[in-house]
Amino acid sequence: MQIGGVQKTSLLDYPDKISAIVFTRGCNFRCGYCHNPELIAITNEPAWTCAGFFEFLNTRKGKLDGVVITGGEPCIQSGLIDFIKQIKNMEFLVKLDTNGTFPDVLRQSLPYLDYIAMDIKAPLDKYKAITRVDADTEKIKESINIIMQSPVDYEFRTTVVKEQLTFDDFDKIGDLIKGAKRYYLQKFVPSKTLDRTLISASTYSDSDFELVSTKLRLKIKNVFLRG
């Protein structure tokens, strides 16, 4: 496991839980709006060792409910499943954030997960434009199906850059995850980005988001705005 950083306490990243966040290195996407661009490349200089993280976690028993594993893309990591198992053996909950391009790893992880958050970058026909790689959208669909058919609690979410996604695109996303339990529209906040030109990009207004959400609720049980 290549750990690029650890946030020792979060009240926001695991719904209704107090968590620590592990940021893994390496990502197979190159989304321009990425707010963790320093984690995209895998390096030989991890910010934390796994042993160091578990020593820390041992001191947080009774203080934290769980651990969020995010990135980068955690499913790139060959040691991910063993890492999750060790967290579970310490009796913490585990939430996994993923972009959905590694359905086999996701499937193997399911028995040890308590919550999954999968990013839906765009409708499938726009994945290449948004991720800036030749993404295998069949794997995206497979991961969506795995998550929706599993007993593990979950959410889907989309970071919304107004210049990238239209109202019609949200209709297509609604069809892609129709019947999902929970979907979050996340406001793009231009603070730190992989593509520096997107610092001047915008997101939709609250009234626009409400129009989109109202329409999406015809297809998805719960639609929320996060920003």
* Contact status, residue 107 vs residue 144, Cβ threshold 8 Å: no
Per-residue pLDDT tens digits for 75-121: 999 999 999 999 999 999 999 999 999 999 999 999 999 999 999 99
Q: Would you say how long the chain is, in residues?
A: 227
Instruction: Sketch the domain layout of the chain as residue ranges.
Output: 3-226
DSSP 12: S
CATH number of 3-226: 3.20.20.70
Q: Concatenated DSSP letters for 124-151? A: GGGHHHHHSS---HHHHHHHHHHHHHSS
Per-residue pLDDT tens digits for 176-207: 999 999 999 999 998 899 999 999 999 999 99
